[in-house]
Chain A
C-alpha cells in the first residue's frame, strides 16, 4: 500500500513539474506579487526605518520556505544593486514571530550598505539563505550576561535584548556599547528605554572619540582606573560574555576580558586581507568539495586550481563559454584581461579570466 502511495506521489509530482515547473511557478508568484516560491527562500521588506543618518533597519517578512532565525543569529541576504546581485551577511537586530529585522550601517565604499541606506523601500524583495550562528539567547538564559558591542556589532545583541523584553529574564544583563559619537550609534534611545523599563538590564555608552589612545592610535576601550571598570571586574567571574564588533575591537576585548569571565564568545567582522607579494599563497575554500587549497595569488585561478588538484570543468579558457563559471561567495579577484578588481559575490564568476588577490570562497 505504502509503495503504491509512494508511486502515486512520485507520478503526481512528475505531472506537476511538467505542467508547472519550478521556474514557471516562481514566475507567476512573483508576477502576482506573492511571496510564495517552490523552493527559494525570499522575503519582502515590510518596514524601513532610518535609525541614524547612516544606519537603516529593514523589517523582513520571509516566505514559508525560510526556516526562521533566532535572536543573535545571522542571515545571508542578497538583493539587486543597480541590477547586480550582492550578498551580505547581517545579524538580525530583532525577531518578532516570523518577522525579523536587519540593520545596515553605511560603510565607506560599501556597495550594499550604501544602497540599503539610500534606496531600501517597502516591498523590496530579498533572497535569503538559512540562518546561522551559534551564539543565541539560549547561551545566556541561566547566567548573567555581559555584552560588549562595537558600533554596528550591536545588532545581534539588541535582538537578544528585545526577545527578553517580551519574555522573561531573571539574570542581569550588562551592556557596554562603544562607538565614535553617540548620535551616530543605532538603537541608543531604544536601549535607554529598555534600561529604564527592565531592572535586569544596565547599559553604558562610551564615545570612543573622547577616549585615550593606544600606541597604534586605536581608542583604549578600558580605562582601568575608572569606577565603572572596577565595578565591572568584580562581577566578571559570574558572567557569560559576548563581544561583537570589528576585528581590532574584539581583539582588544578578548585580551582584557576573556581570562576573567565564565565563558567568552565573540563575533567579528573581518576585513579581507590582500596577499602581499604576487605569488604569495591565498586560501581558496571550496564549499561543495568541502576542502580548501592554497594557490599562488596573481596566478590564473583556473590553472592554479587545476594544479592544486581541484576538479573543475573548463572549456574555452578565455571567458566566453561559461563552462568554468561558479559562484564566488567572498574574496577579491582581479580580471587578468583588464586588471579590474572583482570584489562582490557573483554567481557567474569565471576562474579562467581571474586571479585571486585574497582568500576566497567558491561554490565548487
Chain B
C-alpha cells in the first residue's frame, strides 16, 4: 500500500475488523431516546428554517429579507439533504418506526429521487467504496481525481468544468444513473422520460415547486421568490459538492483495483473504508451542517449507526487505526479541500501512477 497505510497480514486485518466491530456493538447498544430527540430536532430545524425562509422571501420587499430568506431556505435545504435525508435514507433511524423517518420511503427536497440514491449511494458507493469499475462516485465519472483513472484529453478542461459542476451538483446527482453516452441532445430528455419515469417526475415536481408554484403563491413577489429559491438551491449544491469531494478525494485517499470487490470479510471491508475516506475537523455546528460527513470515516464504517453517534465513535476508531498503522485521515476544511483542488488540477494532466 502507500506510506500512509501499513500492509496488514490476514490475521491482522481480521483483528482490526474485530476491534472495529466491538466499538460498533458498544454504541449500538446505547441507541434509543437520545437519538430520537436528536433527529427530531434536526427535522424541526429543517421545517422551521424552511417555513421562515419562504416567508421571508415573500416579504422581501422589506430590506434585508431577501438575503435572510435565501439564507434560511438554503440552511433548511442543506439540513434536509445532509443531516436528515442522507442519514435517514441509510435506515439509521428505522428503529423509531416513524413513517416520515423511514429509510425505504423518505423522499427529500432535491432533484434526484431517493430511490436512485439508494441504488447508487447506499448500495454501490457504500459497498464498493473507491473500487474501480464498481463505485460510480470516483470523480462521478467526469472528473479524474486518481492516476488510476484512464486519461482522456477532455480532462484537460476539468479544472474549469469541475468548478462549474459545483454549482449544479444537484443535477449531477440526479442524473448519475442516466446514460449520456448513447443518447445525446434533446433525444436524451425523451429517453429519460421513457426509461426513468420516476426521475423525470421528481425533476418536474422540484422545478414546478421551486420555480413556479411558490413564486406564484407569492403574487407580486414572483421574481424575488423564484430567484431566492434558485440561489438557495445553488448554495446547497456548492456546499454538498465541497463536503462530498472532501470525503474521498483528499491527498491520502486510495482507489482499489476491481479484484478488491472479492474481499468481503469484515476486516477487509473496514480497511477499505478507512483508506478511502477522509474526515474534516470542525465544531458541532459544522458537523451538523455537513450531515456528519465530516466524520466520513465513521460514516463509512458504520453507515447504519445514527450519525449523531459518529463523534462518540471517532476517538476509538482513531486509536484502532493508529494501532494498526492506518492513517486516520483528517484535517480542517481548508486543508482537505485544497488537497481536492490539487488533485483536480494535477490529474487533468496525463499523469499516471508510474509517472
Contacts and interface: CB of A to CB of B under 8 A. Distances in A.
Interface stretch (B96-104, B145-153, B190-198, B239-247): B96-104
B304 A319 contact: yes
Contacts of A31: 44, 47
A322 to B, nearest CB: 4
B354 interface: no
Interface stretch (B122-130, B177-185, B311-319, B343-351): B122-130
B127 A321 contact: yes
A83 B36 contact: yes
Contacts of A28: 47
Contacts of B100: 22-23, 26-27
B213 A18 contact: yes
Contact of A346 (B95, B118, B126, B303): B95
A341 interface: no
Nearest to B108: A23
**Secondary structure of the B side of the interface?**
helix
B36 A80 contact: yes
Interface in A287-340: 315-316, 318-323, 325, 337-338
A84 B96 contact: yes
Interface string A1-39: 000000000000001001100111011100100000000
A322 B90 contact: yes
B177 to A, nearest CB: 15
A163 B268 CA distance: 64
B260 interface: no
A318 B269 contact: yes
B208 interface: yes
A27 B43 contact: yes
B48 to A, nearest CB: 9
B116 to A, nearest CB: 13
B90 A85 contact: no
Contacts of A337: 21, 266
A24 B47 contact: yes
B94 A338 contact: no
B103 A348 contact: yes
A118 interface: no
Contacts of B214: 19
A171 interface: no
Contacts of B94: 322, 325, 346-348
> What interface size band does chain A fall in?
20 to 34
A283 interface: no
Contacts of B14: none
B122 A323 contact: yes
Interface in A79-122: 80, 82-85, 87
Contacts of B35: 83
Contacts of A24: 47
Nearest to B35: A83
B209 A85 contact: no
A40 interface: yes
B338 to A, nearest CB: 31
A319 B21 CA distance: 13
B205 interface: yes
Contacts of B122: 315, 320-323
B2 interface: no
Interface of A: 15, 18-19, 22-24, 26-28, 31, 40, 78, 80, 82-85, 87, 127, 315-316, 318-323, 325, 337-338, 346-348
19 contacts: A19-B214, A24-B47, A31-B44, A31-B47, A40-B99, A83-B33, A84-B32, A318-B127, A318-B264, A318-B269, A320-B122, A321-B118, A321-B303, A322-B91, A322-B103, A322-B304, A325-B94, A337-B266, A348-B103
For the complex of A and B, the 8 pairs showing the least CB-CB separation, nearest first, are A348-B94, A85-B97, A315-B123, A322-B91, A83-B32, A83-B33, A316-B127, A83-B36
